Structure 1
Amino acid sequence: MAVAALHAAPATLRVVSDNNYPPYLFIGPDHQPRGYLVDEWKLWEQKTGIHVELVPTDWANAQHMLLDGQADVIDMLFRTPEREPLYDFSAPYAKVTVGIYVDTSISGIDDVDALRGFEVGVERGDACIEHLKQHGITALKLYRDYNAMIDAVHQRDVRILCMDDYPANYYLYKNSAGADFSHAFEFYSSEFHRGVRKGNLATLALVDNGMRLITSEERDALRRKWMGNPVNFTPYTQIFAYALAVAGAAGIALAIWVLALRRAVERRTKDLGFLAYHDPLTRLPNRALLVDRIDHAIRQREGARLALFLIGLDHFKRVNESVGHEVGDQLIKDMADRLSGIEQTHTVARLDGDILAVTLLGTLDTTAITAAAERMQRVIAKGFAWQGRNIFVSASIGISTWPHDGDDGATLLKHADAALGLAKREGRARFRFYSASLTSEAQGLLDLGEGLRRALQRDEFTLLYQPQVELRTGRVVGVEALLRWRSDTFGLVSPDRFIPYAEEAGLIGAIGDWVLQEACHRAAGWVRRGWSGLHMAVNLSPRQFGSVNLYEQVSDALGASGLPPQLLELEITEGSLLQHGPAVSDVLSRLRALGLSFAIDDFGTGYSSLAYLNRFPIQILKIDRSFLIGLPDDARAITLTSTIVAMARNMNMRVLAEGVENVAQWDFLRDAGCDCAQGWYIGPPMTVEQFETWMSRGAPFPPGDDFHPDTPGTSTP
């Protein structure tokens, strides 16, 4: 088989690999490639008679060259889940360890979790990127090669590196940087493979067959040349070595004692370095490390906003007095663990006694920060179990935000402390912003949240229904269910106001489930009434869309109502697909198998990724109302709308235009090939009674002056 495979082989085999990886492959002082792989592929060439064109290049480019067809084989490839769909791999041939290397000015980095809040330098295309992201470490800075990474540390661009140990040791020594770095910990180990493009098994077999022709003696010679030669004692030096061993036997015990003492000192030194930046009880960052991480995040501009929550446990002294300091310490540790689970957490720290701190990082608005503070108060208020009883504590929280309340960690901490003092003076068990205006806004959101929690029990939610019409025939083919909240306290509340808070506060699940149940029961009633072809379109919020219970919620609503699944249409946004795509692809496929259809809402206003449209079972594109402004006279609007319609039809999708307000828009969309439309020209959002009356009158549009359940521009889902 090996002879047959080689007989059918190409004249030249193009091999790419990392030019930055001694002793396997690197560029020598003569600017020529050197290393184990150079000699190994020369042997392969001699054994097979096939010319090998070995191209050393940077690692990211090597992968691009293979995937783009500019190379046949890539060498020194780790096997990872992300690479599995792209490559076929040979058997492993060498094991390599990967370490985290830290600037000696930083201490306290002893495992991967300690990397949170720091930026890590990585070589472009390195498997370390995938491993770090699997552990939730996403603040990464990418460099061309190891020399560039080490230079970046000298320039203070980055202070922590993820590097394979073989080349790390070589380049640290070569750049006289060994004293500037410490090997913090071994991150992971993996094995080298040779790889080919997925499906190119003939080339992989050719490579493997040729490698098997290299003898074990030849491989041993390669290893001795590039991995080091063992010391060969002559008879005289052997005698000297034996004599030296006998002479040193008396000192072995002393050497062992010195080694044990040295290790004890090293452990103690490491502990002291850790404690310089960490709290000894919780092993969380202390005040100094918290300030450093905030400063680092601000310098790196990580995220659009940073919020610092300073959390004081109310009357904690009473806990220590009643049950003892040991139980109080356990309670502190438990609260720290609970806070670490808060979404978007950047750092959790313990500053002193009963004072904990949390920083959140991201695109945070007042709604998100308020909801996070509420969650922190709720998780702390849950009982702490001790000897068959529950100990309850509450929390006061002071909040400061960057960039509004300060430009550095020390200032933000001082202002959060001032806000915490205000929360305690006002009665404890509450939170306050350093900014009085934000506190006022947050109080309004809290009042809104209390109203939302009562709204379901008081039956304050209602659905309005806006008809969707087929442009070619004028036939009503469906309705979109639009949620409204009619509150005794707040009046008619726009979804734009309460949906974001419901999502942040964890209320959207119950509200979304009510909408699904109500819409499905209503649509099923219309089927029994004889309107059998009427589709019901229901919007899913991003949080609902990402819920692990989505399939069960939808199937329960269908089962309870008896609505045929093919009459239910779920509307999702482009942003939801980007945010939750891989996690819910299977759920969407299962729902699609039931017969449901999916629509992309407000298409064109977000990311408009054709890749996502192609990857997921989407049947309908809804053109956002903003594209219809100016139709049919505005040339830009004509071009954009016509392009979306043509693209959707080529992808076998239906198109529905939102916000049709006049007959000219109707005529243009119909002539452009748009399938359906909704808007005030057809019919406004209506109560169930108004819609049924409208349908009974033959669904005239426009419906007449007596249908004014809502106001234009408020048909927000």
Structure 2
Amino acid sequence: MKWMRSKNGRAISLCVLVALVVALALGLAYFGYRLSHIPLLSPAQQEWLSRKGKLIIAGDKYLPPFEYIEGNEYKGFNVDLMYSLSLHLGTELELRPMAWDEARRALERGEVDAIQGMRYTPERARIYDFTRPFLQSYSVIFVPVEQEGVDELEDLKGLRVAVQEGDIAHDFLKAMEGIQLITAPTQAEGFQLLLEGKADAFVGNKWTGLYNLKRLGATGAVKAVGDPLFPSPYCMAVKKGNKELLEILNRALAALQKDGAYSLIYEKWFGTRPEERPSRISLPSIAYLTAALLMI
């Protein structure tokens, strides 16, 4: 009996350790399962969404890579984000691409429920309510490659500057004196004004600008200059006072960022992972932890 105790003591201890590790792994897995199955919306929110029937979401008709029409397809980062949001909420979405200034007016008139992507500013916050941000956006100055002496906003005085109607650059620059603003329905058309010599500079979204340069075959003709302009959170926007929808969208966006769907969509359109790190332990991590403990 003494011999069995000394010979099997290590084996018994190992069995106890394995049992504890397995119990820990199962406990963590169950905890993760329970967390993942917490209802996204409260009963009151689910009832509100059910009565609503579907959500009508407006977006820019041509703001690549965020949202744009190509052929008969409406596509882009924001569009994929909205489809994923629809799946999380379990509700139907109707996406309506339109001219940007028209989209803003449609939301103000209550003809749509939300805009799928808008840069936040304090001035805009007086008109709309904004969700939690899902990325940081900014503008830059684009000029002909041979242009010198333009590095900041003050250098635009005395120049013809193209902007998109209703864009954040339009909102800011129209308040500056000495700039001759030329508005265009889309950022691509604003770029075209620059390429045709009808504008001396174009101010717009950096990512959209680089996309348009490549599409127009003008990467060697135009350059981006200066520091980023108007850095601002990029959010969804709802009509002022629509607190019910705002909270529903905030919960859905948080779920997208937590479960990894947001990261996959971001990487698809921007070629890199967002700065946020996963906030939950995945089952592969638990398995790795279990294997490591068994090797002790």
TM-score of the aligned structures, taking structure 1 as reference length? 0.31
Q: 1:417 maps to what in 2?
A: none
Q: Which amino acid aligns with 2:41?
A: A
Label 1:116 to 1:123 Cα distance change in 2 as closer, same or farther (>3 A): same
- Cα distance in 2, alignment partners of residues 169 and 83 from structure 1: 26
Question: After superposition, what is the alpha-carbon deviation per residue over 1:100-140, rounded to whole angstroms, capped at 9, x for unaligned?
Answer: 00123432112111111112100011011222244435421
Residue 202 (str. 1) matches residue 244 (str. 2): yes
- Cα distance in 2, alignment partners of residues 113 and 213 from structure 1: 42
**3-state SS in 2 of match to 1:171:** helix
- Cα distance in 1, alignment partners of residues 84 and 225 from structure 2: 38
1:228 to partner: Cα distance: 1.7
Residue 218 (str. 1) matches residue 261 (str. 2): yes
Within a 5 Å distance, the mapping from 1:15-30 to structure 2 comes to 15-28=57-70, 30=71
8 A Cα contact 1:21 1:166, kept in partner: no
1:217 to partner: Cα distance: 1.9
8 A Cα contact 1:44 1:211, kept in partner: yes
Question: After superposition, what is the alpha-carbon deviation per residue over 1:581-634, rounded to whole angstroms, capped at 9, x for unaligned?
Answer: xxxxxxxxxxxxxxxxxxxxxxxxxxxxxxxxxxxxxxxxxxxxxxxxxxxxxx
Q: 1:8 maps to what in 2?
A: 48
Q: Which amino acid aligns with 1:98?
A: S
Residue 158 (str. 1) matches residue 199 (str. 2): yes
**3-state SS in 2 of match to 1:213:** helix
**3-state SS in 2 of match to 1:40:** helix
Which ranges in structure 1 are unaligned for 5 or more consecutive residues?
231-717
Label 1:195 to 1:212 Cα distance change in 2 as closer, same or farther (>3 A): same
1:158 to partner: Cα distance: 1.0
- Cα distance in 2, alignment partners of residues 78 and 137 from structure 1: 25
1:97 to partner: Cα distance: 2.1
8 A Cα contact 1:112 1:135, kept in partner: no
**3-state SS in 2 of match to 1:2:** coil
TM-score of the aligned structures, taking structure 2 as reference length? 0.72
**3-state SS in 1 of match to 2:260:** helix
1:19 to partner: Cα distance: 2.5
Question: After superposition, what is the alpha-carbon deviation per residue over 1:249-300, rounded to whole angstroms, capped at 9, x for unaligned?
Answer: xxxxxxxxxxxxxxxxxxxxxxxxxxxxxxxxxxxxxxxxxxxxxxxxxxxx
Aligned-residue sequence identity (percent) comes to: 22
Residue 31 (str. 1) matches residue 56 (str. 2): no
Label 1:44 to 1:160 Cα distance change in 2 as closer, same or farther (>3 A): same
Match of 1:87 among 108, 121, 128: 128
**3-state SS in 2 of match to 1:189:** strand
Q: 2:149 maps to what in 1?
A: 108
1:75 to partner: Cα distance: 2.2
Q: Which amino acid aligns with 1:192?
A: Y
- Cα distance in 2, alignment partners of residues 69 and 61 from structure 1: 12
Residue 73 (str. 1) matches residue 128 (str. 2): no
- Cα distance in 1, alignment partners of residues 204 and 156 from structure 2: 15
- Cα distance in 1, alignment partners of residues 174 and 272 from structure 2: 39
1:32 to partner: Cα distance: 0.7
1:64 to partner: Cα distance: 1.2
How many pairs does the alignment contain?
A: 229
1:31 to partner: Cα distance: 2.8
**3-state SS in 2 of match to 1:45:** helix
Which ranges in structure 2 are unaligned for 5 or more consecutive residues?
1-39, 274-296
- Cα distance in 1, alignment partners of residues 237 and 110 from structure 2: 13
Within a 5 Å distance, the mapping from 1:316-395 to structure 2 comes to none
8 A Cα contact 2:169 2:203, kept in partner: yes
8 A Cα contact 1:79 1:89, kept in partner: yes
8 A Cα contact 1:97 1:190, kept in partner: yes
- Cα distance in 1, alignment partners of residues 269 and 215 from structure 2: 17
- Cα distance in 1, alignment partners of residues 54 and 101 from structure 2: 23
**3-state SS in 2 of match to 1:8:** helix
Q: 1:366 maps to what in 2?
A: none
